[in-house]
């Protein structure tokens, strides 16, 4: 049985069921655990990750980009950058892989009940935020204004573009921006913090920020909202570090006193501010 609590090293057998090209170098994989027992017991929360094992290559930490329903498939969106992710990129439906997980902390959405929520995503950082969007949609009436600000390098790098309209219809304000526009792009150009600066934050003390993306982007996003009066304890980041064991034993993922695999990847900003170097505000 797949349980990171009792058998953190157990690799569950799985198969790729479907692959979708999301953007250049980025694909979404639907993965089915082979054992019925594993499928029934697997449960994760938004922001958690699995270790995906490519036979003969190794493991990589990859966030869930959808929450699995009991018996359902695992969904991961992956940017191909190195050994494991390149091996994954050439898989096709029916190919085998291994899964350990889920691991790590999750977005503390319960703290956002009754508050305005701002989700800030950069590049592949939208993948770990997407289950949070799903969770918000399931309980939309519990939150105030919800804004999702998405930055990408170019328009073709924007992820999940097919979903934006349905998210907007469900009362999530979706705004996008790109670093470099294409000829037919009529949207925003510039860093994602420009969107933040334009966003009216009417009740800063009642606003929660959840952000994932390059650390420099998260740093500027945090700076922008701190200037507008959002308190430190309402700021949540998801951090990436090299991972090996994912269970707090190897030290690869250490950030100051924190092991990102256990205490993270989702951490309150004021827990990691000394290592993100933006606490001058
Ligand atoms: C909690 C968590 C969640 C994550 N979620 C996702 C996700 O949802 N989607 C996603 O795409 N990624 C995600 N990542 C990132 C992913 O785990 C890393 O990109 C991982 O390193 C990929 O493994 P790999 O074997 O393909 O790449 P690696 O081989 O580990 O290479 C990673 C990077 O290091 C560089 N590199 C490799 N070898 C060398 C070398 N010898 N010298 C110098 N540089 C080198 C590569 O160019 C690449 O940029 C997550 C990471 C964490 C910690
Ligand atoms: S990955 Fe080994 S301690 Fe975190």
pLDDT digits (tens, 9 = 90+) for 70-114: 888 999 999 999 999 999 999 999 999 999 999 999 999 999 999
* Protein residue whose Cα sits closest to atom 42 of ligand 1: 82
198 and 152, same domain (yes or no): yes
Residue 37 lies in a domain: yes
Q: Which residues contact 105 (CB under 8 A, 6 or more apart)?
A: 47, 48, 263, 264, 265, 266, 267
258 and 120, same domain (yes or no): yes
Answer whether residue 4 shows pLDDT above 80.
no
Residue 200 lies in a domain: yes
State the pLDDT at residue 280. 42
State the pLDDT at residue 87. 97
The CATH number for 38's domain is 2.40.30.10
The CATH number for 205's domain is 3.40.50.80
Residue 126 lies in a domain: yes
Q: Calculate the CA 218 to chain-centre distance.
A: 13
Is ligand 1 within 6 A of the CB of residue 265? yes
185 and 141, same domain (yes or no): yes
State the pLDDT at residue 263. 92
State the pLDDT at residue 115. 98
Ligand 1 centroid–CA 47 distance in Å is 17
State the pLDDT at residue 69. 82
Residue 241 lies in a domain: yes
Is ligand 2 within 6 A of the CB of residue 258? no
pLDDT tens for 146-201 read 999 999 999 999 999 999 999 999 999 999 999 999 888 999 999 998 899 889 89
Answer whether residue 276 shows pLDDT above 90.
no
- Chain mean pLDDT for the chain: 93
- How many independent structural domains does the chain possess? 2
Nearest ligand to the C-alpha of residue 240? Answer: 1
pLDDT tens for 208-255 read 999 999 988 999 999 999 999 999 999 999 998 889 999 999 999 998
126 and 255, same domain (yes or no): yes
Nearest ligand to the C-alpha of residue 49? Answer: 1
Helices 215-227 and 269-276, packing angle to 10 deg: 120
Domain final residue pick, 103, 123, 156: 103
Is ligand 1 within 6 A of the CB of residue 243? yes
* Protein residue whose Cα sits closest to atom 49 of ligand 1: 81
Q: Which residues contact 131 (CB under 8 A, 6 or more apart)?
A: 44, 45, 46, 47, 64, 65, 66, 67
What is the span of the domain harbouring residue 247?
109-276
Residue 7 lies in a domain: no
The answer to whether the CB of 218 falls within 8 A of the CB of 149 is: no
Residue 1 lies in a domain: no
133 and 89, same domain (yes or no): no
269 and 130, same domain (yes or no): yes
State the pLDDT at residue 257. 87
Nearest C-alpha neighbor of 206 from the set 184, 234, 179: 234
């Amino acid at each position: 049985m797949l349980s990171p609590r009792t058998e953190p090293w157990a690799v569950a057998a799985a198969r790729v069921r479907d692959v979708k090209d999301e953007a250049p170098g980025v694909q979404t994989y639907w993965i089915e655990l082979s054992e019925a027992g594993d499928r029934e017991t697997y449960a994760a929360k938004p922001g958690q990750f699995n270790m995906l094992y490519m036979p003969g290559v190794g493991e990589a930490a990859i966030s869930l980009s959808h929450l699995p329903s009991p018996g359902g498939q695992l969904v991961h969106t992956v940017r191909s950058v190195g050994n494991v992710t390149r091996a994954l990129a050439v898989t096709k439906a029916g190919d085998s892989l291994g899964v350990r997980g889920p691991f790590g902390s999750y977005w503390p959405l319960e703290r956002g009940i009754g508050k305005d929520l701002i989700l800030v995503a950069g590049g592949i950082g939208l993948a770990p935020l997407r289950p949070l969007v799903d969770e918000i949609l399931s309980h939309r009436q519990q939150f105030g204004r919800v804004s999702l600000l998405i930055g990408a390098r170019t328009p073709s790098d924007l992820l999940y573009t097919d979903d934006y309209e349905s998210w907007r219809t469900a009362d999530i304000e979706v705004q996008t921006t790109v670093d470099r526009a294409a000829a037919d792009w009529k949207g925003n150009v510039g860093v994602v913090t420009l969107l933040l600066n334009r966003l009216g934050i009417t009740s800063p003390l009642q606003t929660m920020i959840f952000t994932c993306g390059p650390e420099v982007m998260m740093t500027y996003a945090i700076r922008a909202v701190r200037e507008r009066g959002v308190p430190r304890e309402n700021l949540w980041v998801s951090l990436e570090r090299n991972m090996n064991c994912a269970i707090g034993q190897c030290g690869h993922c250490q950030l100051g006193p924190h092991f990102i695999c256990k205490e993270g990847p989702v951490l309150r900003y004021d827990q990691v501010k000394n290592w993100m170097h933006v606490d001058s505000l």
